[in-house]
Amino acid sequence: MRKFEDSIPLQLLKAREATMSFFRPILQEFSLTEQQWRVIRALNEYTELESKQLAERCCILSPSLTGIINRLEQQGLIQRRKSPEDQRRVLLSLTDQAKQMFEDISPRLEARYKALAEQISEDKLEQLNELLGELCKLKP
């Protein structure tokens, strides 16, 4: 068996924490958790999603997402509406307040990506992204 320190899942966890240290302080300034930001980013990109679609795209379990959605809705950042095609479907989207928040935060986070790339190089960051994409496609 490989050494404990060489465990890929452990290395991925450590890499996640190291990476998030670049972004977490900015999110904290806006009183957002990482999961809340993922939801906001997804809804900004996809405009409107059902809860199940949002959970899949954000890699958040549905029970956890329910609480996140409720908190974001209470903060005036997410709105719900019934689908005109099927009244059983509820679609989630960002409010104008959340869209403005996204516009305020995005450039600052992009600057943090540049700081990250300066430390490991843009090429290595791109290569890492490609390798992680390959890992995500693996089937057990």
What does the block give as tokens for 53? 């679609």
Each domain of the chain, given as residue ranges in start order, spans 4-136
Tell me: pLDDT of 102 over 90: yes
- What ranges in 30-95 are assigned the alpha helix state H? 34-46, 51-58, 62-74
pLDDT at 2: 83
Q: What is the pLDDT of residues 50-86, one digit of tens each?
A: 999 999 999 999 999 999 999 999 999 999 999 888 8
pLDDT at 117: 92
Q: What is the pLDDT of residues 24-47, one digit of tens each?
A: 999 999 999 999 999 999 999 999
pLDDT at 112: 95
pTM of the model: 0.88
Checking phi first, is residue 79 left (phi over 0); if not, alpha (psi -120 to 50) or beta?
beta
CATH of 4-136, one of 3.40.50.2000, 3.60.20.10, 1.10.10.10, 3.30.1330.30: 1.10.10.10
> Is the Cβ–Cβ distance between 79 and 97 less than 8 Å?
no
- What ranges in the chain are assigned the alpha helix state H? 8-29, 34-46, 51-58, 62-74, 96-120, 122-136
